[in-house]
Amino acid sequence: MTNCPTVLSRGSCTVPNCAHEHNILVCEPCGFIADDANAYTGHLTSNRHKTRIAGRGITLYCPICEMNIESGTWASHKAGSNHLKQAIRKGASPDVDPEEGANDQGQKYCQLCKLAVENSKWVRHKRGTWHLKRKDFAAYQAALVDAERDKNGISTNGKLGFGIVDFTKTKKTVTRPIVLKATAANVRVRLTDSKLVSSRANMDTTLVSFILFFLANDTFILVLL
């Protein structure tokens, strides 16, 4: 089953009888969207994933030396004589934290990939498989953020995401208290249903139930169960 294109582009899906997968499996550190569970498992065991989780394979910037540094060599760079000399010359402490990579002489910094790329290879990099995967991931993340924004005179406060819940290990109900409030004048709202993004539109049931506690001023607290 392929990932739902509507969920990927809009953050949710209300298409009747949608046959696509709504439970989108992603790896945030790598900026990776898996096509299915097997691809996700394979990614987690890949060298690329292990390298990124270990903090290697990205570009950092040294504010003392004013240059990009490969993350795997940061410790040796900071302990090196050239770094120490630059710190002394500037009257600064050599014990600094690295910053995000930056455009440097002969290099452009890719914020999606967290990598400095030589100018001569920049066009090829942007067409590369992993850059495009991370571009898709960034678009999906933006769609999720937009889906959670206040809309139509209704404000939402509270943590909406459940994260990954293992029902075989969870012994108690997982709850998320959310405050919904009508912010526009003369707006009356009634909540009739709730659904997880991961639930397909053609499902008759959902794992989500809710309890409403009505307060004053068109405000009510929604507790998702």
Range in 135-149, 154-168, 211-225 the model is least confident about: 211-225
Q: How confident is the model over 33-46, as pLDDT tens digits? A: 999 999 999 999 99
pTM of the model: 0.71
Flag whether 20 is in a domain.
yes
Q: pLDDT confidence of 166, banded at 50, 70, 90? A: low
Q: Assess whether 33 and 141 both reside in one domain.
A: yes
Please give the residue that has the higher pLDDT: either 19 or 184: 19
C-beta of residue 100 within 8 angstroms of C-beta of residue 60: yes
Looking at the structure, do residues 46 and 134 belong to the same domain, yes or no?
A: yes
Q: Which domain holds residue 18?
A: 5-51+130-147
Contacts of 95 by beta carbon, 8 Å cutoff, 6+ apart: 78
| 65 has pLDDT over 60 | yes
Tell whether 139 and 34 lie within a shared domain.
yes
Q: What share of the chain is helix, strand, coil (3-state, %, to 5)?
A: 30, 20, 50
Report the number of distinct structural domains present in the chain.
3
- 200/202 Cα distance (integer angstroms): 5
- Provide the pairing of β-strand 59-62 with 99-100: antiparallel
